[in-house]
């Protein structure tokens, strides 16, 4: 385990020092995708507390898995990563934890046409995804790409769009090149 990873003893002491109020509150602002800081401090503890969500080892291990796994992880992948550090975790708990973290705005869920559902941490700014229908590659797309479209939607329809999480399906550069190469022969 690296110096930034959580250990069970630290998590237990943190989770038991919190009142038993488990009712989440709606976040009033978007929280940043925090990074670990010096000394192994886990930044999600404070975020969970600000949201009125009880800090538990299970919740922290799911968040830690998503941070270390780089996002776009299935529940099973999160489970595989987290259970190595916290063997008491089970898949049902991972799903319940993900549902709660989605509800409070710390995690986003994406369902692909293939039936696969992935999860990722919500960052400071909205971002979107380009998803290849052939190979399944996922490319993150910055929100700035939609600025001109948002201006057109506002001008034409009087609607101010606030896209938070879009998925555009098509062919990635590699698959498109392979398809064009195959049709040229």
Identify the CATH number of the domain in which residue 87 sits.
1.10.10.10
Q: What CATH number did the domain enclosing 143 receive?
A: 3.30.1490.190
Q: Are residues 101 and 153 in the same domain?
A: no
Domain ranges, residue 103: 8-117
**Residue 80 maps to a domain:** yes
**Residue 36 maps to a domain:** yes
Split at pLDDT 50, 70, 90, the class of 1 is very low
**Residue 86 maps to a domain:** yes
Q: Is the pLDDT of residue 101 over 90?
A: yes
pLDDT of amino acid 124:
64
**Residue 2 maps to a domain:** no
Domain boundary among 117, 135, 160: 117
Q: Are residues 13 and 97 in the same domain?
A: yes
Half-sphere exposure of 98 (CA within 13 A, CB side): 26
Q: Are residues 102 and 22 in the same domain?
A: yes
Domain boundary among 77, 95, 117: 117
pLDDT digits (tens, 9 = 90+) for 137-167: 888 888 888 888 999 999 999 999 887 778 8
Q: Is the pLDDT of residue 14 over 50?
A: no
Q: In whole angstroms, what is the distance from residue 112 CA to residue 136 CA?
A: 9
Q: What is the pTM of this model?
A: 0.62
Q: Is the pLDDT of residue 23 over 70?
A: no
Domain boundary among 69, 100, 117: 117
Q: Are residues 113 and 172 in the same domain?
A: no
Q: Is the pLDDT of residue 86 over 60?
A: yes
Burial class (CB in 10 A: 0-12, 13-18, 19+), 166: middle
Q: In whole angstroms, what is the distance from residue 184 CA to residue 60 CA?
A: 51
């Amino acid at each position: 385990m690296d110096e930034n990873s959580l250990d069970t003893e630290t998590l237990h002491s943190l989770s038991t020092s919190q009142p038993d109020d488990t009712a989440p509150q709606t976040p009033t602002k978007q929280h940043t995708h925090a990074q670990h800081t010096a000394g192994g401090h886990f930044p999600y503890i404070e975020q969970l507390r600000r949201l009125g969500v009880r800090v538990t080892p299970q919740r922290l291990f799911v968040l830690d898995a998503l941070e270390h796994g780089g996002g776009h992880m299935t529940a099973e992948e999160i489970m595989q990563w987290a259970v190595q550090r916290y063997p008491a975790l089970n898949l049902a708990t991972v799903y319940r934890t993900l549902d709660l973290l989605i509800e409070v705005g710390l995690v986003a869920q994406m369902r692909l046409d293939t039936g696969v559902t992935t999860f990722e941490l919500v960052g400071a700014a909205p971002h979107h995804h380009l998803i290849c229908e052939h190979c399944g590659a996922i490319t993150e797309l910055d929100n700035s790409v939609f600025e001109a479209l948002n201006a057109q939607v506002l001008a034409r329809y009087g609607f101010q769009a606030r896209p938070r999480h879009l998925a555009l399906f098509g062919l990635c550069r590699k698959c498109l090149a392979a398809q064009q190469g195959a049709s040229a022969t």
